[in-house]
Amino acid sequence: MSDRDGKIWMDGQMVDWRDAKIHVLTHTLHYGCGAFEGVRAYNTVNGPAIFRLAEHTERLFNSAKILRMKIPFTPEQVNEAQCAVIRENKLESGYLRPLTWIGDKKLGVSPKGNTIHLMVAAWPWGAYLGEEGMKRGIRVKISSYTRHHVNITMTQAKAVSNYTNSILANMEATDDGYDEAMLLDASGFVSEGAGENLFIVKGGVVYTPDLSAGALNGITRNTILHICKDLGLEVVQKRITRDEVYISDEAFFTGTAAEVTPIREVDRLEIGCGSRGPITEKIQSAFFDIVNGRNPKYAHWLTKV
Ligand code: PMP
């Protein structure tokens, strides 16, 4: 991935992709204190646009605040950097990765006196969990790894270090032949996927774990809450047990990368009819209308690049 054409925005400059490098003594590389975002640009009916850019940038600044890192740019500069990266790389759609990290001035655990950096890269990225998964649904395993407790790592920060837990859970699930992991919190209640929020449907009502289960406050999750309201679907945010997931009528993951991915199986148990459910399909279709600029109500969520 490092050796390719294209540009990466790095600390205010457009740098050639293959020259966008950092030193091996970079603090974040050693201790994992950094924050990032995952953002998508869509080739909408009005041209390339970034979906919910302001909200992603706000979460990046909030993640940095939680980690006590001061990003040396304004949110407006970070927004503009993301638009510029899409333009410079001539992308019509794609995935954006802003990341803020602590520099290489010193290597003690304390980051005080070190420098804070920011980069934004973008590249084409299709369906995160596969095109087929978007239609048929994916197979998920409840992880043997517990999701972060809210007072161990900071679960509302999209922190670099939080992802070791996601990586372990994803590797365990995929090594066992599943597509993705679902993690439980320290009390055993359902939290989220390795990189996705979870929704289930039971008796026509949509349920999602409340954020005290250590799930990230997903921007797609929030989009789904709006969509459900528009579709007249009741949504309940509550503690959810794994057996509630097993006996749900439908289940799906949401995320910027995963978009709306139906779940057809959990721990080898079929969910509902064992394929994408009708309510999931409705929500998925409304989601793609919004991100592709086909729903004027949410035109303000799309920033033209
Ligand atoms: N949870 C985790 C752990 C994630 O990595 C993501 C992806 N950012 C999500 C949930 C979904 O968040 P969003 O919809 O904002 O991408």
Distance 184 CA to ligand 1 centre (A): 15
Which residue in the list 158, 229, 238, 297 is annotated as catalytic? 158
Look at residue 2 and tell me if it is in a domain: no
Do 97 and 187 belong to one domain?
A: no
Instruction: Report pLDDT for 52.
Output: 98
Structural domain including 179 reads 131-291
With the most atoms of ligand 1 within 8 angstroms of its CB, the residue from 128, 168, 199, 220 to mutate is 220
Of the chain, the percentage scoring pLDDT greater than 90 comes to: 97
Look at residue 227 and tell me if it is in a domain: yes
Instruction: Report pLDDT for 34.
Output: 98
* Burial bucket for residue 255 (CB in 10 Å: 0-12, 13-18, 19+): buried
Over range 1-21, report the average pLDDT.
96
Q: What is the CATH number of the domain that holds 176?
A: 3.20.10.10
Q: Answer whether residue 23 shows pLDDT above 90.
A: yes
* Burial bucket for residue 1 (CB in 10 Å: 0-12, 13-18, 19+): exposed
Instruction: Report pLDDT for 56.
Output: 98
The domain total for the chain is 2
Instruction: Report pLDDT for 256.
Output: 98
Distance 304 CA to ligand 1 centre (A): 23
Residue nearest to atom 12 of ligand 1 (CA): 218
Cβ of 256 closer than 6 Å to ligand 1, yes or no, is: yes
Q: Answer whether residue 129 shows pLDDT above 90.
A: no
pLDDT digits (tens, 9 = 90+) for 77-109: 999 999 999 999 999 999 999 999 999 999 999
ipTM of the complex model:
0.99
User: Of all atoms in ligand 1, which is nearest to the CA of residue 166?
Assistant: 3
Name the band, by pLDDT with cuts 50, 70 and 90, for residue 128. confident
Distance 228 CA to ligand 1 centre (A): 19
Look at residue 1 and tell me if it is in a domain: no
Instruction: Report pLDDT for 222.
Output: 98
Q: What is the CATH number of the domain that holds 58?
A: 3.30.470.10
Look at residue 298 and tell me if it is in a domain: no
Distance 12 CA to ligand 1 centre (A): 26
Cβ of 98 closer than 6 Å to ligand 1, yes or no, is: no
Look at residue 303 and tell me if it is in a domain: no
Do 278 and 142 belong to one domain?
A: yes
Cβ of 159 closer than 6 Å to ligand 1, yes or no, is: no
Over range 125-129, report the average pLDDT.
87
Instruction: Report pLDDT for 101.
Output: 98
Do 197 and 94 belong to one domain?
A: no
Q: Answer whether residue 127 shows pLDDT above 90.
A: no
Instruction: Report pLDDT for 287.
Output: 98
Name the band, by pLDDT with cuts 50, 70 and 90, for residue 50. very high
pLDDT digits (tens, 9 = 90+) for 229-279: 999 999 999 999 999 999 999 999 999 999 999 999 999 999 999 999 999
7 as an active site residue: the answer is no
pLDDT digits (tens, 9 = 90+) for 160-213: 999 999 999 999 999 999 999 999 999 999 999 999 999 999 999 999 999 999
Instruction: Report pLDDT for 201.
Output: 98
Domain boundary among 88, 123, 158: 123
Do 11 and 104 belong to one domain?
A: yes
Cβ of 197 closer than 6 Å to ligand 1, yes or no, is: yes
